[in-house]
Structure 1
Amino acid sequence: MSELPQDAVEAAERLTKLARQVGDDNEAEAYRTRRAETLADHDYTARVREDDDTLVLYPDEWLEDGTVVLDRIQDTDRAVEVPLSTTGGEGSWEEIEAHNAALVEAVAAEYGERHEKNARAFADFMGNHYLGRVDEATDEQITEFTTEYFPRNAWPDKKQREIVETSLEYLSSVSEADCPSPTSE
């Protein structure tokens, strides 16, 4: 089992993907610096293994002058590997945004403008903060959205605040309608 907390792994993955998506070298470097600082809090270092596009996180004690010393590795389970390429070819911000936008449009068509606004806010949150599809959000991300991001960043009116959870349920239902489970034929 890794010594690196899951939230640090997720932050490192998110920052790595964001660094790849931005067009500005300074902004990309800022994301990589934030990743390094996040991992340094846990005495870990990140490298991207280019041959299979994998983010590798490993303990600093394995390093000497920036190089991994194999004799220092006692337990390989302490390292964490995160594939950076997503399945299905949907990995760039543009592809994720297009997917999320289609689901937001489906909510608008089926459930109306207020639910559309809430769904759009969630799509913005997932795409911009996690580089993720709305239909792959974790329970923790949904909680973060409803308790932190939504009230502070979406500028919802009273009715939107009252129906936000229903809006997310509608978003999930249109997603399931558009993406049937593999067991259904």
Structure 2
Amino acid sequence: MSEEREHSEQELPDDVVDEAERLTRLARNAVDDDEAAAYDRHREELLSEYGFTARIRGEDDVLVLHPAEWVEDGAIRVERIDDTGRAVEVPLSAPGDEDDWEAVEAHNATLVERVADEHGEIHAANCRAFADFLGNHYVRRVEDTTAAEIDVFLSEYYPRNAWPSERQRDVVEQSLELLFEVVDVNVPGRSRVR
């Protein structure tokens, strides 16, 4: 996700790295410890499929994804590191994040307003929920959304956090299509529903 991600001979696919970052951010923003622990467990299960694990380097707030074989009894054993290039580093915070969020929020809010003007409040409410999800969890513009993020929005965030009416739930995928039409992009990973 981050353009500052550092890796050389990366063993983890980009979508796995993106998902590990997403789960880490969701754990940070979780409302209770059980929810945070569930996201952390999911991240570890995902990474374990590739023989990797994760830790957050506190001094510079970086998510480090590295081979699990480097760890023994919860500590990294330096003598087990044959090639530091196998690790992937993902900065979790950076100077200017707040400014980035404000720019992303303004951009996405403009798109939501266009949907409201052209298609009404039901679709706009769904699009507003999606924009909130993107801004708060990823600091991402609508047109930069991934298929995995849309899946998380529809399966996890939307039913739990958007408080949609039955009518909104019935048209949420159509609402996303309308939002993506504003930026002239197909909804990633989805077939058209209209």
TM-score tier by shorter-chain length is 0.5 to 0.7
Cα offset for 1:118? 5.2
Cα offset for 1:157? 4.2
Task: Indicate whether 1:167 and 2:188 are aligned.
Answer: no
Gaps of at least 5 residues in structure 1 are: 174-185
Deviates more, 1:2-11 or 1:94-103: 94-103
Q: Deviations over 1:18-70 (max 9, x none)?
A: 11112311211121111111111211111000111100010011122222222
Q: 1:32 aligns with which of 15, 26, 40?
A: 40
Query: Given that residues 62 and 73 in structure 1 are in contact (C-alpha distance below 8 angstroms), is that contact kept between their aligned partners in structure 2?
Result: yes
Amino acid across the alignment from 2:109: A
How many residue pairs get aligned? The number is 165
Query: Given that residues 107 and 119 in structure 1 are in contact (C-alpha distance below 8 angstroms), is that contact kept between their aligned partners in structure 2?
Result: no
Query: Given that residues 96 and 131 in structure 1 are in contact (C-alpha distance below 8 angstroms), is that contact kept between their aligned partners in structure 2?
Result: no
| Structure 2 counterparts to residues 62-77 of structure 1, below 5 A | 62-77=70-85
| Structure 2 counterparts to residues 97-108 of structure 1, below 5 A | 102-103=109-110, 105-108=112-115
Q: Percent identity?
A: 42
Which structure shows the bigger proportion of residues in helix conformation? 1
> Against the structure 1 CA distance between its residues 75 and 88, is the aligned structure 2 distance closer, same or farther, given a 3 Å change threshold?
same
Q: TM-score, normalised by structure 1?
A: 0.67
Amino acid across the alignment from 1:165: E
In structure 2, distance between residues paired with 1:9 and 1:164? 25
Cα offset for 1:141? 5.0
Cα offset for 1:110? 4.5
Q: TM-score, normalised by structure 2?
A: 0.64
Match for residue 155 of structure 1?
A: 169
Query: Given that residues 18 and 131 in structure 1 are in contact (C-alpha distance below 8 angstroms), is that contact kept between their aligned partners in structure 2?
Result: no
What CA RMSD, in Å, does the superposition of the two structures yield over aligned residues? 3.8
Amino acid across the alignment from 1:167: L
> Against the structure 1 CA distance between its residues 155 and 96, is the aligned structure 2 distance closer, same or farther, given a 3 Å change threshold?
farther
Cα offset for 1:84? 0.6
In structure 2, distance between residues paired with 1:33 and 1:139? 22
**SS at 1:56's partner residue?**
strand
Q: Deviations over 1:74-116 (max 9, x none)?
A: 222210000111553339xx97996577335532564341652
